[in-house]
Amino acid sequence: MTTDALPATPSAASRWILRGLTGGIITALPVVAIGLYFIGFAPNYYQHLAAAALVNLIIVVGLQVFMGNSGVPQLGHSAFVGLGAYGLAILATPVALKKLSIPHAPFGLSQITLSPVIAIPISFVVVAVLALVSGRIISRLSGVAATIVSLAFLVIVHSVFLHWPELFKGNQAFFGIPKIFGLPAIIAGAVAAIVIARLFRESATGLQLRATADNLQAAEALALDSRALRRRAWLLSALICGAAGMLYAGFAGTISPKVFYFQQVFLTLAMLILGGMGTVTGAMLGTILLSFGLEAIRSVETGVSVLGIQMPAMLGLSGVALGVVIVLCMALRPQGISGRYELDEAIGALLRRNSRMDKAE
Amino acid sequence: MLSVSGIRKAFGGVQALDNAVLRCDPGEIVGLIGPNGAGKSTLVNVVTGVLRPDAGTVVLGGRDLTGTGPGAICSAGIARTYQNLRVFHSLTVMQNVEVAHSRCRQLTPDRAARVSASALLKTFGLERHANALAGELSYGSQRRLEMARAMATVPQILLLDEPAAGLNDEETDQLGEVIRLVATQMGAGIVVIDHDLKFINDICRHLFVMDQGRPIAEGTPERVWKDPRVIEVYVGPGTETGTGDQRDTVQGV
Ligand SMILES: Nc1ncnc2c1ncn2[C@@H]1O[C@H](COP(=O)(O)OP(=O)(O)O)[C@@H](O)[C@H]1O
Ligand SMILES: [Mg+2]
């Protein structure tokens, strides 16, 4: 017993990395397949839709990292998406265009244009600093208190975007951001987000955080520090959401504060709840299903003709559908479609059950 | 060694603990018994820092731990299981043990190997279920998993709150074997709370008996079961009122 168990410690360390990597790659496969299909076969308009959906996917994955692992509900993640997007916009937009849009920007920001290679890391640092500050407060709270504080954080950041027009151009569109990202870059970003989120889930920090969500008293009796664990997840979640914002800004070329507000919060929340917030697989499934579903509804919304009969326009149907998805999921299957299992874990459990049945026969 | 003395704890008007005591040496198995509501679980909660006592001290190996939090007490070397199970349902069996590992102190390789997750699962007969979700285990297996998880923190003292509750006779016998193994091989001192007096008498060398928050007797099982106050609590005033079962258990020591 003693000798055969000796190498257990180092192998345990590499085991979670292996689990996270293979799990992440398996979970990312459907995303890659759909993304490549759109690159290869879809018209330009649909490529734009796919890019927006994949940005949402990254946001949902970021949301899952904190909410799914800590069990603490929050609604503030779009603040970090906006911070990432505006960070890149303010730093990387050419001076000539900034002279038109934000000529009076403070700190001489209207006089400089940074290469994306520098602008992106600086934007990440800005996101990280705000995540560290807000994380100190959020990590102390749970339940409704955490939700309300995260919402207040979103409102504060949104207000700053609106009421500091010298820097953020107020509620007008911030245009002229260099379009440095195409659909392939966004697909790569989504794959990276999924793999990172899955690695985090399997890491010691992720495991301990899930234990605190599962049974806080038992976890604290094992000397686990729920606040420190939540702070780390909050930081990673913010960085992933910030990355989504940068990808969006660098793809669309134009951003405005309303993009990063309630509508985005509720859309991404509905995606995560539908798929199941406990798993990265849930984030992936919910985003894909709801993206296709809402697109189908939108085409009905404006009135289509079915078998030659013109259907009336039903504006607002997609908003209703979003609400219905949240309500139905919460009522009927609060753990979402994926439940407790990641895609690869479900496959593994299925294989084990089959082999056990073979042996039993 | 663990030395708990003079513990007082009141909930509103209820004096749940009134000068409660408990002692346990490394490698020793002691029993903590008493009728329902005697204050046994409350004492465990005080010792593990879940509750702050109104008075009294909790000392481990000369270090006063009174009033420090659950995490600090775990790091100091006291682990526990729960009367109402608290396994991490959504983690696998293996992860339940690993998560307890991740914070434990520097260990010699030999000791580390003995408390490695796979070795612990083997010790507690759970290796077949390593990849199952803990919430899917049977009740008895969840009880053993809580013990394995507690041992992963490499405690000097392990407190077991009703580990045999809900187990059948065979499972209870196996549990007794495992508890002995943990005490002898891992050197942990173990405090067992249970209502199964045969089980308690089988594995404990020393008993602490409580009633209404107060210690009423302590010593070897032989001595304790001759104590008139213990007989009164367990059999009732006047031997006639006791049920045959209870008398058998008490006299069968
Ligand atoms: N959190 C609590 N709040 C109020 N009363 C409590 C609490 N915990 C225990 N008690 C009371 O303290 C007494 C001892 O309970 P407990 O320690 O659970 O007994 P035992 O484990 O010996 O059956 C009981 O009267 C119980 O009702
Ligand atoms: Mg009890």
Residue type, A210: R
Q: Is B58 in the pocket of ligand 1 (CB under 6 A)?
A: no
For B236, residues 6+ apart whose C-beta sits below 8 A from its C-beta are B242
Q: Is B45 in the pocket of ligand 1 (CB under 6 A)?
A: no
Using one digit for the tens of pLDDT, what is the confidence trace for B16-42?
Answer: 999 999 999 999 999 999 999 999 999
If you average pLDDT over residues B49-64, what whole number do you get? 94
State how far residue B207 is from chain A, nearest Cα, in angstroms.
Answer: 26
Q: Which two tokens stand for residue A347?
A: 């496959």
State how far residue B239 is from chain A, nearest Cα, in angstroms.
Answer: 42
Residue A344 has pLDDT above 70, yes or no: yes
In chain A, DSSP finds a helix count (H) and a strand count (E) of 17, 2
Using one digit for the tens of pLDDT, what is the confidence trace for A222-263?
Answer: 999 999 999 999 999 999 999 999 999 999 999 999 999 998
Give the CB-side neighbour count of residue A303, counting CA atoms within 13 A: 5
Residue A172 has pLDDT above 80, yes or no: yes
Please state, as a whole number, how many other Cβ atoms lie within 10 Å of the Cβ of residue A37.
12
Cα B14 to Cα B11, B18, B21, B213: the distances in Å are: 5, 10, 18, 10
Q: What is the pLDDT of residue B8?
A: 95
Question: What is the rounded CA–CA span in Å between residue A222 and residue B86?
Answer: 12
pLDDT band at A317 (very low <50, low <70, confident <90, very high): confident
Q: What is the pLDDT of residue B57?
A: 95
Q: How many Å is the Cα radius of gyration of chain A?
A: 22
Q: Is B34 in the pocket of ligand 1 (CB under 6 A)?
A: yes
Q: Which residue in B217, B169, B165, B230 sits closest to B194, CA to CA?
A: B165
Q: What is the pLDDT of residue A304?
A: 65
Contacts of B119 in chain A (CB under 8 A): 1-2, 5, 8
Residue B128 has pLDDT above 60, yes or no: yes
In chain B, DSSP finds a helix count (H) and a strand count (E) of 11, 10
Question: What is the rounded CA–CA span in Å between residue B181 and residue B31?
Answer: 16
Helix or strand run (H / E) with residue B24 = strand B14-24
State how far residue A340 is from chain B, nearest Cα, in angstroms.
Answer: 7
Q: What is the pLDDT of residue B66?
A: 93
Contact A2 B113 (CB under 8 A): yes
Sheet with B2-11, side-by-side order of all strands: B14-24, B2-11, B55-60, B63-64
If you average pLDDT over residues B61-78, what whole number do you get? 92
pLDDT band at A356 (very low <50, low <70, confident <90, very high): low
Q: Which of B9, B14, B195 to mutate to test the pocket of ligand 1 (most atoms within 8 A of CB)?
A: B14
Q: Is B38 in the pocket of ligand 1 (CB under 6 A)?
A: yes
Using one digit for the tens of pLDDT, what is the confidence trace for B74-85?
Answer: 999 999 999 999
Sign of the torsion formed by the C-alpha atoms of A337, A281, B93 and B90: negative
Q: Is B117 in the pocket of ligand 1 (CB under 6 A)?
A: no
∠ CA(A302), CA(A305), CA(A306), 5° rounding? 125
Q: Which residue in A121, A130, A157, A153 sits closest to A243, CA to CA?
A: A121
Contact B99 A211 (CB under 8 A): yes
Question: What is the rounded CA–CA span in Å between residue B125 and residue A254?
Answer: 61
Reported in sequence order, the residue ranges of chain A that DSSP labels E, i.e. its strands, are 305-306, 309-310
Domains of chain B: 2-232 (3.40.50.300)
Report yes or no: B6 and B56 within 8 Å, Cβ to Cβ. Answer: yes
Q: Which two tokens stand for residue A286?
A: 């919910």
Q: Chain A to chain B, count of Cβ pairs less than 8 Å apart?
A: 97
Contact A211 B116 (CB under 8 A): no
Residue A147 has pLDDT above 90, yes or no: yes
Nearest chain A residue to B76, by CA? A223
For B57, residues 6+ apart whose C-beta sits below 8 A from its C-beta are B3, B4, B5, B6, B7, B64, B66
Contact B74 A8 (CB under 8 A): no
pLDDT band at A21 (very low <50, low <70, confident <90, very high): very high
Contact A5 B113 (CB under 8 A): yes
Using one digit for the tens of pLDDT, what is the confidence trace for B106-118?
Answer: 555 556 656 788 8
Cα B33 to Cα A10, B237, B249: the distances in Å are: 42, 18, 14
Spell out a b/e string for B126-139, using b for 16 or more CB atoms within 10 Å of the CB, else e.
Answer: beebeebbbeebee
Nearest CA, atom 3, ligand 1: B11
**Partners of A174 in the beta sheet?**
A255
Question: What is the rounded CA–CA span in Å between residue A223 and residue A211?
Answer: 11
Question: What is the rounded CA–CA span in Å between residue A341 and residue A321?
Answer: 26
CA of B18 to the centre of ligand 1 (A): 12
Residue type, B64: D
Does residue A207 belong to the interface with chain B, where contact is any CB pair within 8 Å?
yes
Residue A3 has pLDDT above 60, yes or no: no
Question: What is the rounded CA–CA span in Å between residue A16 and residue A194?
Answer: 15
**Partners of B5 in the beta sheet?**
B57
Q: What is the pLDDT of residue B244?
A: 41
Residue A288 has pLDDT above 70, yes or no: yes
Using one digit for the tens of pLDDT, what is the confidence trace for A259-278?
Answer: 999 989 999 999 999 999 99
Nearest CA, atom 26, ligand 1: B37
Helix or strand run (H / E) with residue A280 = helix A280-301
Using one digit for the tens of pLDDT, what is the confidence trace for A88-138?
Answer: 999 999 888 888 888 888 887 888 888 999 999 999 999 999 999 999 999
Sign of the torsion formed by the C-alpha atoms of A235, A240, A241 and A242: positive
Q: Which two tokens stand for residue A318?
A: 């997609």
Question: What is the rounded CA–CA span in Å between residue B196 and residue B164?
Answer: 7
Q: What is the pLDDT of residue A272?
A: 95
If you average pLDDT over residues A157-169, what whole number do you get? 90
Residue A213 has pLDDT above 90, yes or no: yes
- Which of these ranges, A49-53, A197-201, A292-296, A315-319, has the smallest mean pLDDT? A315-319
- Find the helix packing angle between A226-252 and A116-138, rounded to 10°: 150
Sign of the torsion formed by the C-alpha atoms of A214, A220, A222 and A226: positive
| Contacts for B241-244: CB closer than 8 Å, 24+ residues apart | none
Contact B82 A218 (CB under 8 A): yes
Q: What is the pLDDT of residue A358?
A: 65
If you average pLDDT over residues B56-63, what whole number do you get? 94
Does residue A355 belong to the interface with chain B, where contact is any CB pair within 8 Å?
no
